[in-house]
Copies of this chain bind each other. A is one copy, B any other.
Amino acid sequence: MDFSSKLLENAVNEVSRLPGIGKRTALRLVLHLLKQPTDHTKYLSEALLHLRNDVKTCEKCHNISDTTLCDICNNPKRKPEIICVVEDIRDVMAIESTSQFNGLYHVLGGKISPIEGIGPQNLQIESLINKVEKGEVKELIFALSSTMEGDTTNFYIFKQIEKFDITTSTIARGISVGDELEYADEVTLGRSIVNRIPFEQSIRS
């Protein structure tokens, strides 16, 4: 791409470094900003800079937070002895939106992935083990995504905490509510049969 303006070229290059945004999309976004009032660009830039410079992670659960202890960890109504292990803030938001979980979270910050060069030392695993060692935890719920990396991470953590007397569980895998059986994949359908639950329990939830 040949740009008639260095400023434009620079902006397009920076925007296209974002994941999933190519040069053409970046150009479209930047030209859009040029058509908007100057304030729009100012607010956008400031919001990104403020976030990057001032955001904290909760020192207890490592979730993104404006304070040193996040609102969830700070909430006295939640049970601190039940901890749900998740990958990042999006999973926290997804589980919170169900209003079905009353414990705390532990945000790992990713999954063990040798291909991407992410090992246990790059994640918040040690602090999780520490919590368990201190006897703060009664139940650990693994809620990582059901991929090779997720399973590896679950297993890695499980191996280090199995000597402690705590309950471990993983979120149920099965057919989505409202889904047709014929379109479900074999692995999910298979698991949902193996891990079937008593009918009485299913009508209560």
Instruction: Name A27's contact: one of B27, B41, B90 (CB within 8 Å).
Output: B90
User: Contact at B31–A17, with CB atoms within 8 Å?
Assistant: no
Contact of A65 among B1, B4, B47, B97 (CB under 8 A): B4
Main secondary structure of the interface of A (DSSP, over half): helix
27 A-B residue pairings within 8 Å (CB atoms): A1-B93, A2-B93, A4-B64, A4-B65, A4-B70, A4-B72, A4-B89, A7-B51, A7-B54, A8-B64, A10-B47, A14-B44, A15-B47, A15-B48, A18-B29, A18-B33, A19-B29, A30-B48, A30-B51, A31-B88, A31-B90, A33-B48, A33-B51, A41-B49, A41-B51, A41-B52, A44-B48
Q: Give which listed residue, B31, B47, B97, contacts A14 with CB less than 8 A.
A: B47
Within 8 A of B (CB), among A40-79: 40-55, 58, 63-66, 70-72
A-B interface, 7 closest residue pairs, ranked by CB to CB distance from nearest = A45-B45, A41-B52, A11-B51, A14-B47, A11-B47, A14-B44, A7-B51
Is A5 on the interface with B (CB-CB < 8 A)? Answer: yes
Residue ID in chain B nearest A58 by CB atoms: B4
Nearest B residue (CB) for A13: B47
**A121 near B: Cβ within 8 Å?**
no
A4 touches which one: B30, B31, B63 (CB < 8 A)?
Answer: B63
Chain B residue numbers with a CB within 8 Å of A134 are none
Residue A34 at the B interface, CB < 8 A? yes
Known contacts A6-B66, A71-B4, A34 near B17 by CB under 8 Å = no
